[in-house]
Amino acid sequence: MKIKLKIWRQEDSKSKGRFVRYALDSITPEMSFLEMLDVLNEQLISSGDIPVAFDHDCREGICGTCSLFINGRAHGPDRLVTTCQLHMRRFNDGDTIVIEPFRSKAFPVIKDLVVDRSSFDRIQQSGGYISINTSGNTQDANAIAIPKADADRSFEAATCIGCGACVAACKNASAMLFVSAKVSQYALLPQGKVEAKNRVKNMVAQMDLEGFGNCSNTGACEIECPKGISLENIARMNREYLFG
């Protein structure tokens, strides 16, 4: 396959970025999208150029690190996959592929396609946890009966990997889907009830402080989420926030 790339290059958050064009002619359909970028960087290094900076870690769709905006969509044209799970067979010979970082005031560019998503960490630290006294004899995990339906919904919310696709897809750069997933995974369980009221208020306050936009129920976040996190979680977070 021969492909053309139009990639956002930016030295740091204070520099002015620009699109730079590249061409590759040794790409196979079996390659993952990140493997294709590896080939590009090998080519750039060989010619003495600066390689394109992009985030990656597990390359198994688990960590959420590989967050790229590809042809106008977070993580690319496939649904329910991360960028590392996207393969070049989804593109055609001769295609031009536009690759950008996730765009949000709360996700400042570090370099090229790498953005700073530590705002998500600060939201988690503000309330996305439960406090457990581990001194003495701790209670067995199975001692509290939990209805299977609640456990299943909690687990579904907990599958959020914090990649930020919901923010990148939203016209308002809202983090409501991410925050609501982190609220829901505890709100649905009895262990999370003790700190429920403070949790949601603290996390929403931190979300606003980080500069994320408001939710206007467009639904793009759910469509582009690689884990299929449901908008129902946003409704649950709103109820938790209003009624505790």
CATH number for region 117-131+144-243: 1.10.1060.10
Per-position b or e across 98-126, b if 16+ CB within 10 A of its CB: ebbbbebebbbbbbbbbbebebbeebbeb
Residues 55-113 have pLDDT tens digits of: 999 999 999 999 999 999 999 999 999 999 999 999 999 999 999 999 999 999 999 99
Q: In CATH, what is the architecture of 3-109?
A: Roll (3.10)
pLDDT at 17 over 80: yes
Range list of H helices, 53-110: none
Intervals of CATH 1.10.1060.10 along the chain: 117-131+144-243
Intervals of CATH 3.10.20.30 along the chain: 3-109
Residues 89-98 have pLDDT tens digits of: 999 999 999 9
Residues 195-215 have pLDDT tens digits of: 999 999 999 999 999 999 999
